Amino acid sequence: MATPTELSVLLRLYTSKQNSPSISLIDFTDYLQKYARHYLQEAPDLAMWLEDTQTTVLKELDRLSNEGRAVLTTDQKGHRYIFVPQFYIDRFTSRYREIEERTEVPFPLPSELPSLFPSALLRQVYITTDFTDVMEDAERATGVLYQLMFPDETSPLLYPGTLPPARLLELALAKIRLFLRKDESRDYIQKRIMMANPGKEITIKNYLTQFQTRPSDSLDAFRHSGEAFIFWSYLCSFIRQDYAKKNEKTPEETALMQSVFIVEYLNNYYKNKVQQELQCETALKNLELAFQKPPYFFDMDAILRFTDSRGIPLLGQYKNTDLENFIKSKTGNPESHSLPELLAFRSPTNVRYFLLKEKVYPMIVRLCNESRKSVKEAITKEWHSLLLKFRQDEAMNNQAAFEKKLEALCSEQSPILHAVLNASFIPLLAMETPSQSAETPASFKIFNHGRLLPWSELLMLNRQELLTDTRILLPFWYTIPIISSLLSFLRRPRKKKTRAHKKENRESPLRTEDRTPSGSTGSAKDERDKLKHDLRNAALAVGKRLIPPGSSLESEMEEHLEHWNRTLDQTAKQNLTEDVNSLIRDYIRRILRTLRASSFDENRIENLAQTLVDTPSLMKIKNRDALLAYTRLYILYLISNMK
């Protein structure tokens, strides 16, 4: 142990040796000189006390006096004394150690302090308002005395700052336990509590038995069990009522009353704490439930506004620190090989969002469905404008360029989807096996062999189908080769084409006319015939699923035709029917090369029919549902009878 050199420590040692808080200045300076000479080799800093010791001591005493750690006084004879308050703090610390060994020893009282004791070292704490704050203060002062004030005429008690308030509770319970052991106090109190709580006799008896025989279990129940609250309330109330009638109390009775007040108020404190913990636990569960609701991703502002089922904000039912700890624990990674329960990503505007790992799939599905329509409309509008000017976009003919275009549009129109698909956890999520609690739609995948699917598959947008659907929106003269060629020649700027480019155009299979190039062979014709044959078979298979049993394709078409074409004049009715049929036939003839038997199903027919019904030419027909059903059936009729 290092040799002390501080004056405050040396004063504390000397007063303890003299067993007196007040010491003579002359005697202390003599002791200090001898102490410094004896320990000089071990502590060279003691050399400061060897020259002009009294002047040096007085200078240091002036500093300690300003801090309330020493008081310099002079008696009537002119003798100077040093009063050291730390002496009483050490004495009361020893007193509490004695109380731990002998419960009957009373608590220290303010009357035991001299008038010279500095007020700066004596802090008043009201048990009704301040005591719980002192309990929760982990950085309370240790070099002071606390004076615990009670609400009635009960004398305050003193305890040093080194004594934890929780330890004071244990001593108070020990004094009540001592009271119940005397005479017939237990039987008397037990009887009164049972009379006040009929039907709970066994419970009360068990509480009293546990309190007297198992102190540690009783203390744990006192702090954490809300069920013991009523027992302690009645116990403290009955003891206080009996002793409140006495005008003069012995030191032991005063200590008992002080203990009753401590236990009674801390009983309320722990009861409220248990309720708050339960409320916080419930609120955090509601917080988890809130993360499971659409839109599944939330920033911190949204999280702070979460409410429970009654509309009460969750923030208030738990503290900010509880929320921070919750997010920290959920976003932490307990296992290095797995993702945490709560994931985080940042938007292009640098806003941090949180979402549950199990909700990543539903969130992506939801955002893809929401983004699909807007992205499709944007591309359709752009390509329609280009095609009107007889221009081409690279994304029309190149799949890689089409994917880049989809990503760029998604980053503009759905930045959250773009941000989450580019988040750092997406590659790790692909390697994890979805848990049972994770919502993974069986019909929608975002990964293929550990890699993210292309944007076209995520958004379910086919480049060729999108281009075909866009072309049908063009005016009808764009479908007439002679007129469209003439307009293209007049509107498009002349460009010098290289021989390689001309050769590429000649060899390009993307032709609207259904005729065989000059260099074609018989095998190419056989291949086209096979494709048509497969397409007819696919159409017949779809027809079996769409047409009710006992009916035919023609009868179903006739029934829907009567619903949408209700023109009374037969000639006008036939003309309208033929116009609609011609529009459908022209459209199917143009897109025939893009149709494949493998993808020709009910959904493809529905998309084709919806595109036709949405054209300006058919928008004037009122009964659109019947028209849509007729269009589906007529497309099926055309493909089934294709030659």
Nearest to 156 by CA among 262, 85, 241: 262
Quickly list DSSP for 55-102.
HHHHHHHHHHHHTTS-EEEE-TTS-EEEE-THHHHHHHHHHHHHHHH-
Give me the residue label for tokens 């002079």.
74
Strands 342-346 and 157-160: unpaired
CA separation (Å) from 254 to 149, 175, 176, 241, 243?
Answer: 13, 11, 12, 14, 9
d(CA 590, CA 569): 32
Radius of gyration over alpha carbons of the chain, in Å?
46
Q: Which two tokens stand for residue 52?
A: 């002009």
What pLDDT is stored for residue 4 in this prediction? Answer: 85
How buried is residue 338: exposed, middle or buried, by Cβ count under 10 Å (0-12/13-18/19+)? middle
Q: Please state whether 541 falls in left (phi above 0), alpha (psi between -120 and 50) or beta.
A: alpha
Say if CB 621 and CB 579 are below 8 A apart: no
Please name which of 405, 410, 406 lies closest in space to residue 371, comparing C-alpha atoms: 410
Please tell me the predicted confidence (pLDDT) of residue 156. 94
Question: What kind and span of H or E run contains 346?
Answer: strand 342-346
Q: Are 374 and 368 in contact (CB under 8 A)?
A: no
CB atoms within 10 A of CB 413: 16
| Residue/partner pairs of 60-63 with CB below 8 Å, 24 or more apart | 60/7, 61/7
Residue 513: predicted pLDDT: 40
Residue in the structure block whose two tokens are 């009715």: 573
Q: CA angle at residue 282 from 279 to 287, to 5 degrees?
A: 120
Q: 159: which residues sit within 8 A by CB, 6+ positions away?
A: 92, 96, 107, 108, 145, 146, 148, 168
CA distance linking residue 209 with residue 214, whole number of Å: 8
- In 3D space, the residue among 95, 127, 136 whose CA is nearest the CA of residue 236 turns out to be 127
Contact by Cβ (8 Å): 624, 613: yes
Q: Rounded distance, CA 382 to CA 466, Å?
A: 12
CB-count exposure of residue 462 (10 Å: 0-12, 13-18, 19+): middle
| Dihedral angle of Cα 170, 171, 174, 176, to the nearest 10 degrees | -100
Q: What is the pLDDT of residue 344?
A: 92
Q: How many angstroms separate the CA atoms of 285 and 525, rounded?
A: 68
Write down the pTM of the prediction.
Answer: 0.59
Residue among 38, 28, 27 at smallest CA distance from 8: 28
CB 129, CB 183: distance < 8 Å: no
Q: How far apart are CA 383 and CA 369, in angstroms?
A: 22
Those residues of the chain that have pLDDT short of 70 are 1, 138-139, 226, 333-337, 433-444, 476-524
Angstrom distance (rounded) from CA 174 to CA 504:
101
pLDDT at 376: 92
The pLDDT assigned to 342 comes to 92
Measured CA to CA, the distance from residue 128 to residue 107 in angstroms comes to 19
| Helix axes of 624-640 and 553-564: crossing angle, nearest 10 degrees | 150
Residue 519 contacts residue 625 (beta carbons within 8 Å): no
**Residue 181 · residue 174 · CB < 8 Å:** no
- What is the per-residue pLDDT across 8-43, written as a single tens digit (0 to 9) for each? 899 989 998 999 999 999 999 999 999 989 888 888
At 342, which helix (H) or strand (E)?
A: strand 342-346
Short-list 136, 161, 159, CA closest to 148: 159
**HSE of 404 in the Cβ direction (CA atoms, 13 Å)?**
9
